[in-house]
């Protein structure tokens, strides 16, 4: 029995933690099955080496990606990220001087200054997405992986692991860096800018946070944490899970059999299960309608007001783009135009179109529509660039009567558009695009294995 689960010739040292001795497929002789989260196709996972991934043979969605030393790597990156975040929060972020008047801000002031201007919701959104949620995520990684490396999971490890995937879309440190660069370029011609240690520490933090997210081997983590129950008896590859009264857990990937009453939780991670997201299309339509309504004041009202020598100049999103173009800052104008106009409008139209055709898909266009959904889901968070630009400029440009920048009502409206469109993308179930009768894929009952980093 011991040879079956832990072979005598591990690829790592004998005293390595059990979580790193062998990947899951090397510890069991049975096939490990997965149902794709995007098209519901059931396939068998192939043996994977470090640097390889298994993709769905039907829609090419990545089912599993394997990393070497998964627990050590993600824990080391998480600790480094927390140290960089602590440095970013402890030192000056950026300073400017204009006609003898100077100002210096810290990272936290990008949110606290908004509260002084009666924008508490925007302030909470800024600090949550760039500091609080990333910190909670990283602490959760350290807590979880430390227990796995000890071969003795710490309390609440299952709940912690389940929460990681829910936090990921709302961490926007990388978007904040782009917003900071846009802000600094906008004022570089008007004042002298000096970047503080916090700025470089936060850039490092954003990179390390991205690397931490990419380092998570969820398949290996859940196998080490809770094992893997057998797939329901009679599960067949090469067809959809719904056709077999099965569903895949959206968190840990385990295939579960659906209960007749519809009230069921995953056997491994206790996530609530549904054959399809309840009222997916209706919820998406409702969120899109709300986002469309909020997009009108987001463009009609000023997003910020610049006061210089007693003269106030309100600026809308489109007006700010025009001013940047007239000032010769075409690249920055292009970034703002894409993030504030193209992305939100494109998401509204793309999701509306996907909702309208969800019940009329077929094999020839389901793949294309799924690709459109992936793009829509990925780009949505980048619209927050404009909100971060406002937060930074409001905190930084405080030169008394010479020049000040105040947030406008459009900041809250536009932030609402970003959140609503993100929620709309999460509410849409891409498996609906594949639910129309589609012929079986002959001979394609195993996930496709690919090398992802050349190892």
pLDDT tens sequence across 344-358:
999 999 999 999 888
Mean pLDDT calculated for residue range 46-54? 85
Domain boundaries along the sequence of the chain: 279-436
Checking if the pLDDT of 316 tops 80, the result is: yes
Q: What is the mean pLDDT of the segment spanning 379-405?
A: 83
342 φ, ψ (degrees, to nearest 5): -65, -50
Burial (CB count <10 Å: 0-12, 13-18, 19+), residue 145: buried
Confidence (pTM): 0.87
Q: What is the mean pLDDT of residues 285-298?
A: 95
Segment 136-159 shows an average pLDDT of: 91
Q: How many CB atoms lie within 10 A of CB 154?
A: 13
Q: What is the pLDDT of residue 436?
A: 63
Task: Determine the pLDDT at residue 97.
Answer: 79
**Would residue 83 be called left, alpha or beta, if left means φ above 0 and alpha means ψ between -120 and 50 degrees?**
alpha
Long-range Cβ contacts of 24-27 (<8 Å, 24+ apart): 24/219, 24/220, 24/223, 24/228, 27/223
Contacts of 131 (CB under 8 A, 6+ apart): 85, 89, 107, 108
Q: What is the pLDDT of residue 71?
A: 87
For residues 358 and 210, which has the higher predicted lDDT (pLDDT)? 210
Give the separation between CA 248 and CA 32, rounded to whole angstroms: 13
pLDDT grade for 11, boundaries at 50, 70 and 90: very low
Quick check: 363 pLDDT over 70?
A: no
Per-residue pLDDT tens over the stretch 251-288:
998 999 988 776 788 888 888 888 888 899 999 999 99
Specify the CATH architecture of the domain 279-436. Answer: Up-down Bundle (1.20)
Q: What is the CB-side half-sphere exposure of residue 384 using CA atoms within 13 A?
A: 29
Measuring CA to CA, how many Å separate 33 from each of 43, 47, 249, 265, 325?
Answer: 6, 12, 12, 18, 54
Residue tagged 């055709």 (tokens): 357
Residue 437 has pLDDT above 70, yes or no: no
Distances (CA, A) of 134 to 75, 78, 248, 344, 384: 14, 10, 27, 24, 16
The set of residues, in sequence order, having a beta carbon less than 8 Å from that of 395 and lying 6+ positions away, is 105, 109, 110, 112, 113, 114
**pLDDT for the residue numbered 1:** 34
Find, among 109, 140, 138, 143, the residue nearest to 126 by Cα: 109
Average pLDDT of every residue of the chain: 84
Q: What are phi and psi of 328, to 5 degrees?
A: 90, 0
């Amino acid at each position: 029995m011991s040879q079956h689960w832990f072979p005598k010739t591990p690829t790592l040292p004998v005293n390595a933690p059990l979580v790193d001795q062998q990947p899951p497929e090397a510890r069991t002789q049975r096939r490990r099955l997965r149902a794709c989260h995007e098209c519901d196709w059931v396939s068998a996972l192939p043996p994977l080496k470090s640097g390889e991934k298994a993709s769905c043979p039907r829609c090419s969605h990545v089912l599993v990606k394997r990393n070497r030393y998964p627990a050590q790597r993600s824990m080391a990156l998480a600790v480094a990220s927390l140290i960089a975040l602590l440095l970013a929060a402890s030192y000056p972020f950026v300073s400017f001087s204009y006609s003898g008047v100077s100002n210096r801000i810290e990272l936290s002031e990008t949110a606290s200054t908004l509260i002084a201007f009666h924008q508490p919701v925007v302030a909470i959104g800024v600090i949550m997405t760039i500091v609080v949620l990333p910190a909670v995520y990283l602490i959760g990684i350290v807590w979880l992986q430390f227990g796995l490396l000890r071969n003795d999971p710490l309390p609440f490890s299952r709940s912690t692991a389940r929460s990681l995937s829910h936090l990921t879309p709302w961490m926007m440190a990388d978007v904040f860096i782009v917003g900071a660069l846009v802000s600094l370029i906008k004022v570089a011609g008007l004042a002298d800018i000096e970047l503080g240690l916090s700025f470089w520490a936060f850039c490092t933090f954003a990179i390390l946070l991205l690397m931490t997210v990419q380092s998570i081997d969820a398949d290996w983590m859940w196998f080490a944490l809770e094992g893997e129950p057998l797939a329901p008896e009679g599960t067949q590859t090469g067809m959809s899970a719904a056709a077999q009264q099965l569903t895949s857990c959206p968190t840990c990937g385990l295939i579960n059999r659906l209960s007749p009453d519809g009230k069921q939780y995953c056997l491994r991670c206790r996530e609530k299960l549904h054959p399809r997201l309840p009222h997916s299309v209706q919820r998406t339509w409702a969120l899109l309608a709300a986002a469309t309504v909020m997009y009108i004041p987001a463009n009609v009202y000023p997003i910020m007001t610049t006061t210089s020598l007693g003269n106030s100049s309100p600026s809308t999103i489109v007006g700010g783009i025009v001013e940047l173009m007239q000032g010769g800052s075409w690249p920055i104008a292009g970034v703002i135009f894409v993030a504030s106009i193209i992305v939100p409008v494109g998401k509204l139209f793309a999701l509306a179109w996907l909702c309208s055709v969800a019940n009329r898909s077929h094999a020839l266009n389901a793949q294309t529509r799924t690709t459109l959904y992936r793009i829509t889901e990925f780009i949505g968070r980048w619209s927050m660039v404009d909100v971060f630009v406002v937060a930074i400029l409001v905190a930084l440009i405080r030169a008394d009567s010479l020049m000040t920048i105040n947030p406008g009502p459009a900041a809250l409206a536009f932030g609402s558009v970003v959140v609503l469109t993100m929620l709309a993308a999460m509410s849409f179930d891409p498996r609906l695009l594949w639910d129309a009768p589609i012929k079986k894929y002959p001979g394609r009952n195993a996930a496709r294995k690919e090398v992802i980093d050349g190892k």
